[in-house]
Amino acid sequence: MHDYIRKAAPTLKALGLPTQDLTRKLRFEADLDRAVAGVDLVQENGPERVEFKQDLWARIEQHVPSHALLLSSSSAKTATEQSLKMKNPSRLLIGHPFNPPHLIPLVEIVPGEQTEPGAIADAVAFYKAVGKVPRVLRKGNPGDLSPTGCSARFSASAAIWYWRVWSRWTNSTIS
C-alpha cells in the first residue's frame, strides 16, 4: 500500500492535491474487530460475493459505534442484499467510487431499503469533504452510473436499435 501511494503521489500533485505525509497515519490491522473499533466510517471493498459481504457486515456491526457510516464499494450487490444478516442496517449504503479514484471524482451513493436519510446525508458530506462528487441514486442498482453499467446499457440499446430500426430500413429479416 505504501508503494502504491508513493507511485500515485506525482499524479495527486499534478491534480493539485496534497501529497505530504500521505502515509504518516496509515496503519494495517489484521484483526477485523480491532480495526473497526471506534471508527466513524467503514469503506468496504471486498469480493463481490453476497454471503461474504453479509457475514462481514454482521461482524463489523458488532464492533463499530452506532453512529458509524457503513459504505460498500459494490457495483453488483445492493445494500439491502448485503444487510440481510445485520441487526440494524440503517447506516449501510453503497458508496461506489469510480476507478481510478484519484483521477475520477464521481461516487455513486445507493441507499438500501432500510438506510436512514441521515446516513445518506452523512455519506454525501463525507465524499464532498474528501473532494469527491457524490450522486445519490434513489432507485436502481450500484454500478448504474459506472462505465460498466453504462456500457452494458449502451450495448443493449444499440442491439435494440439495430434489430428494430436498421433491419426495417434495409428490409432484412432476422433469422
- Positions annotated as catalytic residues are 108
Residues 6+ apart with CB under 8 A from 96: 72, 73, 74, 75, 107, 108, 109, 110, 142, 143, 146
Beta carbons of 102 and 12 less than 8 angstroms apart: yes
Q: Record the cell numbers describing residue 172, joined without a space.
A: 432484412
Q: Record the cell numbers describing residue 169, joined without a space.
A: 430500413
**Short-list 134, 78, 137, 79, CA closest to 70:** 79
